[in-house]
A = this chain, B = another copy of it.
Amino acid sequence: MTTAPLRLGIAGLGTVGTGLVHLMRENSARIADRAGRPIEVVAVAARDRSRDRGIDLSGLRWHDDAVTLAADPDVDVVVELIGGSEGTARQLVTNTLRNGKAVVTANKALIALHGAELSALSSAHEAPLLFEAAVAGGVPAIKLVREGLAGDRLLRVGGILNGTCNYILTEMRNTGRAFSDVLSEAKALGYAEADPTTDIDGWDAAHKLAILAALSFGRPLAFDSLHVEGISRISPADLHFAQELGYRIKLLGLAREVQDGIEAWMRPCLVPIASPIANVEGVFNALSYEGAFAGSQMIEGRGAGAGPTAIAVMADLIDLARGSRLPVWGVSTPANRVECVPRGTLTGEYYLRVTVQDQPGVIADIAIILRDCGVSLRGMVQHANDKTPNGTVPLALVTHQTDEHAMLVTIQRIAALDSVVNEPMMLRIEAG
């Protein structure tokens, strides 16, 4: 094994990038001992040269255009910390792999959306592509799935993959407050970004799920076929009804191999209060999986921050320095990109919340629609006390096993009733 230093070019000097430079300087002897050779930063790329980042960047080659890092002859590994699935990040990673150089990235959107083409480049040019930091937090999810579970046949993978959403749902339940109110507070506390769209609309968690699914099943998902729903339409009434019915609401992701492809979605679900996943609270994340041999397992850990993300990037770099050369999805011969099965073909139990004018015949109207759509009711909850000053009242319904297509027709017809105000809310019920 070579003992020459592994030379890095770091693209993006935000909190993770500067944290990584700091970490490598602080722990250089320890890292060399663990890696079997020194790991050194030789070049960086960021937009603003003059900004004070609290670290000394003198002696490092500066690239104003990050993409030129890909061709820097002194760079063995490009560390991509720019983010975003398109533009500079995508161009830089593509060019670096084409040049036969290794890439380490924390970019979950890039891997989720373009993993198929990037893994083909990685394989064609024998250029490793590593992304432990893309699904980070306290749980080393990628190492677990790609290496720890490599001997098992995974039947299901998923879990609670976004700490911001889990924090908001936990707070809403604990305090009875509205989504927008708790979101503002989460921003103030630093648990939500200034622009929280990627988190609350489910995309961040969906990117992580797509990556875990690709590793679990040895083939990338066609990301745009994944059904993704966020949490912004969840109301205190939903949390209250869920509790009363014996459930909690979690933004849950799941991927499993089915006959015609892969079933995969990220959406708020009702899970039984006693299930382990229901008890993952606040900013915690949980990776849940079922292996043919390992059985059902759930691993819970704290969500990511800059420190754990830098450590995850460092783990990939040390693996590279030691000569580890795993294929991108862990398999020698990855299968082709696979479409998720259409949402309508899913089957399951469902929760419906409908806000209605409190007047005679409303329940009958709804019951007739359900009957006509072949949806069988398992339970219904309504409280006279919940009646608002303008005469509306929320109504919760729980169905027996049915197919999602029938449910989609059902809510469309219910929404069209004169006595129904607002869009009905439909959530899956999962075993957790």
Contacts and interface: CB of A to CB of B under 8 A. Distances in A.
Interface of A: 1, 19, 23-24, 26-27, 30-31, 33-36, 132, 138-140, 143-144, 147-153, 218, 291-295, 297-302, 305, 307-308, 310-312, 314-315, 317-319, 322-326, 330-333
B148 A132 contact: yes
Contact of A299 (B138, B147, B218): B138
A308 B331 contact: no
A287 to B, nearest CB: 9
Contacts of A300: 299-301
A315 B151 contact: yes
Contacts of A315: 147-151
B299 A35 contact: no
B311 A305 contact: no
A297 B302 contact: yes
Contacts of A150: 31, 34-35, 314-315, 318
A418 to B, nearest CB: 49
A306 to B, nearest CB: 9
- For this chain, the copies found in one complex come to 2
A297 B293 contact: no
15 contacts: A1-B325, A34-B151, A34-B331, A138-B294, A139-B299, A140-B140, A147-B318, A147-B319, A148-B312, A149-B315, A152-B311, A294-B307, A297-B308, A300-B300, A324-B324
Q: Is the interface of A mostly helix, strand, loop or mixed?
A: mixed
A308 to B, nearest CB: 5
A25 to B, nearest CB: 12
A312 to B, nearest CB: 7
B297 A299 contact: no
A295 B314 contact: no
Nearest to A315: B148
A33 B218 contact: yes
Nearest to A307: B293
Nearest to A286: B300
A140 B144 contact: yes
Task: Sort A-B residue pairs by CB-CB distance and give the 7 closest, nearest first.
Answer: A151-B314, A140-B148, A138-B297, A34-B150, A299-B301, A300-B300, A293-B307
Given A151-B314, A151-B318, A291-B311, 14 more contacts: A19-B293, A26-B153, A27-B292, A140-B143, A140-B144, A140-B148, A149-B315, A151-B317, A293-B307, A294-B311, A295-B308, A297-B308, A322-B324, A324-B324
A224 to B, nearest CB: 27
B302 A301 contact: no
Contacts of A294: 138, 307-308, 311
A286 to B, nearest CB: 9
